[in-house]
Amino acid sequence: MTNSPNMRPTRGSDRPVIRQLDETAINQIAAGEVVERPASVVKELVENALDAGATRISIDYSHGGKTLIRVSDDGCGMTAADLSLAMSRHATSKIDGSNLLNIQSFGFRGEALPSLGAVGRLQITSRAIGHEAASLLIEGGFFHSVMPAALSAGTVVSLRDLFFATPARLKFMRSDRAEAQAIAEIVRRLAMAEPFIGFTLCDLSGNGEEGRIVFRADPENGDFLDALHRRLTRVIGVDFADNALRIDFEHKGLRLSGYAALPTYSRGSSVAQYMFVNGRPVLDRTLLGALRAAYMDVLSRDRHPAAVLNILCDPQSVDVNVHPAKSEVRFREPALVRSLIISGLRQTLAHAGHRASSTVGDETRAAFQAPDLYNPNFVSRIYQSTPASGQSLSYAFQMQAPSTQKLMSLSEEPSARFEAPAAAQADLNRPLGAARAQLHENYIIAQTQTGMVIVDQHAAHERLVYERLKAERDANGITSQALLIPEIVELSPNDAERLLEIAPSLVNVGLVIEAFGGGAIAIRETPAILGAVNGADLLKDILDDLSDLGHSERLQVLMDAILSRMACHGSVRSGRHMRAEEMNALLREMEVTPHSGQCNHGRPTYVALALADIERLFGRR
């Protein structure tokens, strides 16, 4: 009988024999988990160098790491005896095995080196202080003898022909360019984790021994957060560093440190989100979800915050032994960690007040384009716009004295209203300055000591009203309305149990539910501000959030959305004339209101231009 493609292969009647796999096969299987791609190799080797106390680490690669990966460090090094032992599976100097919940190093599993030796040509040359240098070569699981070598200090690990012993894995490699980008991303993440360590990344593909330096970061010094800020300038860029807020927040034995960008410095994707736990780079849905929640009220749904955050906690409160790649973690109290991130970021963002990112001003300056008077096309347009009868090109560029020649006439209804500079000079010293004019009945022009500010009056007032409504809600509590007839929602017993577990927290946001037998849930009260609510859809949305994120802020989002709409309708509309005192009052309130630098949708409420930049636009600098 021929087997169908969807059927399992026919097995023989003989009982399968259980056998012990040899060491090479074991290491090749382990390599499938530890060594996913060249970037994984770089991560493991650089982390080993960090654990060895290195202060400078050099990474060289060729053809995206497929033909060569070499990591050199100035760490403590190894002896000849250490080399042989280090290639034994589960041999490590990081832990003694007595307590797997007190891990304070990057590596600890002892799988990386034997796995690499099983799938490639691995050579380790090392020298410990007080010992001679030695070298060991392993090719596809075959060990050569330890040999004397020449090396002043530290360790050099070279891996050539990755996956030559398991050629099927090569089919899953991406292009050289894609693999090289993944390597660079790994090095940048580790460089952010360790600002006091120097990193150099070099591409040797087709460039001889010198190669091309892809990334370099010299060791920083001083306070950790100051050093991190300088390192982030090098790794992420000046724009992020200039628009990032310093984070240093403690809560119930946990500490959150790092930098988070202003809401107006947001990204179209989550590419600029870097999370660390005790200095270890991690990819954790709980942490990224908390970061998103912290910015929920100041960013639109299609924008993503930028942040570099490190959570410092007792090593015994987090399990890093979840996956061989060690990029996933599990917290003993995930809710506490989530609260740390949300509270720390929201407080920091609130203290930033009206501040908006400098990139807003940069984009504004870039939008200004002065005409080139010496461009023939510009002169041609001027000529074509002049009256055709009996007037020459000189009409457009009159050289007569202004007293005898009328150059142009003002519009009968100018779009800008000028306010006499009657505002107190003290206002010029304020962050948003003194209002001078209203442009197009929507934009307030204010003068500061160092330049000018352009304010979108509707967007700014919308945020002010929104913050006022939220403050009133938080001060008076969330009012719930009792349903005359409780709404009964049928769910699976498992889903009903999950909702009942968070029922006490739902009461705090105006939703009262209780068990109604089996998998049924009775909705007794709903938040009054929501009006009529489809209870079944609401509970299912909350369940979806619990499945995806482990928590739900669905009600909070709905209520904030309603307050935002109320603020939009209750704010100063575009097209309304404002008196000078009204404009100045708006500026003063913006200066003391949290999040006033962006509207409810995450767009900037004002643009600041420095006088030097304005002068540069006119060629005065």
Between the ranges 130-139, 389-398, 532-541, where is the mean pLDDT highest?
A: 130-139
CB atoms within 10 A of CB 378: 12
**pLDDT computed for residue 404 by the predictor:** 40
* Mean pLDDT of the 273-299 span: 89
**pLDDT computed for residue 409 by the predictor:** 44
Using a 10 angstrom Cβ sphere, with 0-12 exposed, 13-18 middle and 19 or more buried, the burial of residue 613 is: middle
**What are the DSSP E strand ranges found in 74-174?**
121-127, 134-139, 142-143, 147-148, 154-160
- Distance between CA 281 and CA 564 in Å, rounded? 36
| Higher local confidence (pLDDT), 203 or 376 | 203
Q: Report all structural domains of the chain as residue ranges with CATH numbers, in order of start.
A: 23-96+105-217 (3.30.565.10), 224-352 (3.30.230.10), 353-370+415-621 (3.30.1540.20)
Residue 531's contacts (CB-CB under 8 Å, 6 or more residues apart) are none
**pLDDT computed for residue 274 by the predictor:** 95
Sign of torsion over alpha carbons 321, 323, 329, 334: negative
- Distance between CA 302 and CA 601 in Å, rounded? 10
Q: Is the pLDDT of residue 228 over 60?
A: yes
Here the tokens at position 467 are 């913050």
| Higher local confidence (pLDDT), 570 or 399 | 570
* Mean pLDDT of the 485-514 span: 87
pLDDT in tens, 78-100: 998 888 887 775 555 554 444 45
pLDDT in tens, 432-454: 999 999 998 899 999 999 899 99
- Distance between CA 469 and CA 466 in Å, rounded? 5
Residue 493's contacts (CB-CB under 8 Å, 6 or more residues apart) are 518, 519
Rg (CA), the chain: 32
Say if pTM beats, i.e. exceeds, 0.85: no
Q: Taking all residues of the chain, what is their mean pLDDT, rounded to a whole number?
A: 81
SS3 content of the chain, % helix, strand, coil (to 5): 35, 20, 40
Specify whether the backbone of 94 is left (phi greater than 0), alpha (psi in -120 to 50) or beta: alpha
Q: Is residue 105 very low, low, confident or very high in pLDDT (cuts 50, 70, 90)? A: low
- Distance between CA 545 and CA 556 in Å, rounded? 13
List the helix and strand counts (H, then E) for the chain.
Answer: 18, 24
pLDDT in tens, 317-356: 888 767 666 677 888 888 899 999 999 999 999 888 777 7
